[in-house]
Amino acid sequence: MVMIAHLDMDAFFAAIEERDNPRWKGMPIVVGSDPQEGRGRGVVSTANYAARKYGIRSALPISTAWRQAQEALARGGPETIFLPVNGRRYGDVSHRIMEIVGAHAAAVEQASVDEAYLDLSHLKDWRAAEAACRRLKREILRAERLTCSIGLAANKLVAKIASDFQKPDGLTVVRPREAIRFLAPLDVRRMPGIGPKAEQALKRGGHNTIGDLQQLTEADLWGMFGEWGLELYEMVRGHGESALSGEWTPKSIGEQETFDEDTLDSRFIGERLAAMCASVAAQVRRGGFTGFRRVVLTVRFADFRTVTRSHMLPMLEHTAGTLKTEALRLLLPFFDRRENPRRSALRLVGVRVEELEEKPRRA
DNA sequence: TCTGGGGTCCTAGGACCC
DNA sequence: TCTGGGGTCCTAGGACCC
């Protein structure tokens, strides 16, 4: 019998900030870009549960979050604390938590900074696995004073959906024979892979829950989503992968930057792009790669239209200088009528390298 | 609402080759 | 003369995830 748990930390970044700053305990906390008094251009990374009461959640424009916080304050609510993302600190906490997780499972797959899959099959029965999940939650709470939610099921897909079912501080067990009925009432959006676009398309067709999708045939789903529809046919029945994947190596490395103001100042944009290239080249080296063969430039215009231009290099390259030359060559046409006939200002520029070649490993 | 930054994966068309 | 079927590489765009 295969038993997989998915562990998901609750409001991870915001929970760490709240833990480390007791004077903010219970107050709304928003971790994300600088709100700049409501003029900031970023988004919310994580909001704690007190902030979610005001409709502030991940991916919300930070300017909107700011406005909602001001309105809450005007109604006599508490002040909202806005904080920058402190990735280094969250990474340290994540590392310690993953060590605890590793001690509780036969195998672990870290899925992101605050998520992991555990293989608990060695425990043989569901009650033992559930008890292990409870112990793990207690251990993380004791060691880090942070809560998490866990889903336990026969594969990664159902475990992930289950971990999201009762948040925060939840534990949801879905045994194989319960999977179809567990999934049926859930909103289609809970299914990994169904994002805003697919959700819209499905709901326009009157398919609101996963149960509605269970009624559709393979042909129906193929008609809507092509090849992926056949996968979805299996997924809505609770079928999915249970093998945990091992070490992850990046397939691309890049950086992008949204400017404070839209601009067509070629000198400024060129300097920013050059800085990104230097940083990306350094990351390629630190990541243990000998080089890259493709350079991709991303440009976002003021109206949010986003385009990419890429170039396959004749041979493997690794220096910041080459990367800069290639990136600037791809950028240049956006300053003249060829690529930018209306002389639109740029909102964002980014550079990414692909086709990375790993350094041969020494035994 | 006015939309970050880090990524992955898939599709599709055209060029080119057999 | 009017016409095949693949396969692979390159490029661009888009959906999605955390």
To the nearest 10°, the Cα dihedral for A159, A251, A280, A310?
-120
- Counts of helices then strands in chain A (DSSP H, E): 13, 13
| Omega before A168 within 30 of 0, i.e. cis | yes
SS3 A354: strand
From A18, A115, A139, A317, the catalytic residue: A115
Q: At what angle do helices A196-204 and A218-225 cross, to 10 degrees?
A: 130
Q: Which amino acid is at A28?
A: P
Q: How confident is the prediction along chain A (363 residues), in pLDDT tens digits per residue?
A: 999 999 999 999 999 999 999 999 999 999 999 999 999 999 999 999 999 999 999 999 999 999 999 999 999 999 999 999 999 999 999 999 999 999 999 999 999 999 999 999 999 999 999 999 999 999 999 999 999 999 999 999 999 999 999 999 999 999 999 999 999 999 999 999 999 999 999 999 999 999 999 999 999 999 999 999 999 999 999 999 999 998 899 999 999 999 999 999 999 999 999 999 999 999 999 999 999 999 999 999 999 999 999 999 999 999 999 999 999 999 999 998 878 988 999 999 999 999 999 887 665
Q: Give protein residues whose Cβ lies within 7 A of nucleic acid chain B.
A: A 33, 41-43, 45, 58-59, 61, 63-64, 67, 85, 226-228, 250-258, 283, 303-304, 347-348, 350, 352
> A161 and A192 in contact (C-beta within 8 Å)?
yes
Backbone angles phi, psi at A115, to 5 degrees: -140, 145
Please report, for chain A, the start and end positions of each structural domain, with discontinuous segments joined by +.
28-79, 186-235, 252-358
Please report, rounded to whole angstroms, the spatial distance between the CA atom of protein residue A347 and the C1' atom of nucleotide C18. Answer: 23
pLDDT of residue A360: 79
To the nearest 10°, the Cα dihedral for A209, A64, A22, A139?
20
φ/ψ region of A115 (left if φ > 0, alpha if ψ in -120 to 50, else beta) reads beta
The full 3-state SS of A236-267, as one line of letters, equals: CCCCCCCCCCCCCCCCEEEEEEEEEEEECCHH
> Cα(A210)–Cα(A237) distance, rounded to whole angstroms?
9
pLDDT of residue A362: 62
In the annotation, is A139 catalytic? no
With 0-12 CB in 10 A as exposed, 13-18 as middle and 19+ as buried, what is A291?
Answer: buried
Nearest residue to nucleotide B2, by CA–C1' distance, is A61
- Residue that is written with structure tokens 């397939």 in the block: A251
| A window 286-305: Cβ near strand C (< 7 A) | 294
C-alpha A186: how far from its chain's center?
21
Nearest Cα residue to A108 out of A7, A235, A239, A192: A7
> A120 and A4 in contact (C-beta within 8 Å)?
yes
| A window 214-273: Cβ near strand C (< 7 A) | none
> A172 and A162 in contact (C-beta within 8 Å)?
yes
Q: Is the CB of A354 under 7 A from strand C?
A: no
The pairing of beta strand A252-263 with beta strand A148-153: unpaired
User: What is the domain class of A186-235 according to CATH?
Assistant: mainly alpha
Residues in chain A: 363
> A257 and A171 in contact (C-beta within 8 Å)?
no
For residues A125-143, b (16+ Cβ closer than 10 Å) or e, as one string? ebeebbebbeebbeebeee
Of the candidate CATH numbers 3.40.640.10, 3.60.21.10, 3.30.1490.100, 3.20.20.70, the domain formed by A252-358 belongs to 3.30.1490.100
Strand C, nucleotides < 7 Å from a protein CB: these are 9-18
Q: Which amino acid is at A267?
A: R
Q: Is A186-235 in the same CATH topology as A28-79?
A: no
Please report, rounded to whole angstroms, the spatial distance between the CA atom of protein residue A13 and the C1' atom of nucleotide B11. Answer: 35
Please report, rounded to whole angstroms, the spatial distance between the CA atom of protein residue A311 and the C1' atom of nucleotide B14. Answer: 16
Of the candidate CATH numbers 3.40.1170, 1.10.287, 3.90.1570, 3.30.70, the domain formed by A28-79 belongs to 3.40.1170
Q: At what angle do helices A218-225 and A227-235 cross, to 10 degrees?
A: 130
**pLDDT digit string, tens, across residues A45-103:** 999 999 999 999 999 999 999 999 999 999 999 999 999 999 999 999 999 999 999 99
With 0-12 CB in 10 A as exposed, 13-18 as middle and 19+ as buried, what is A95?
Answer: exposed
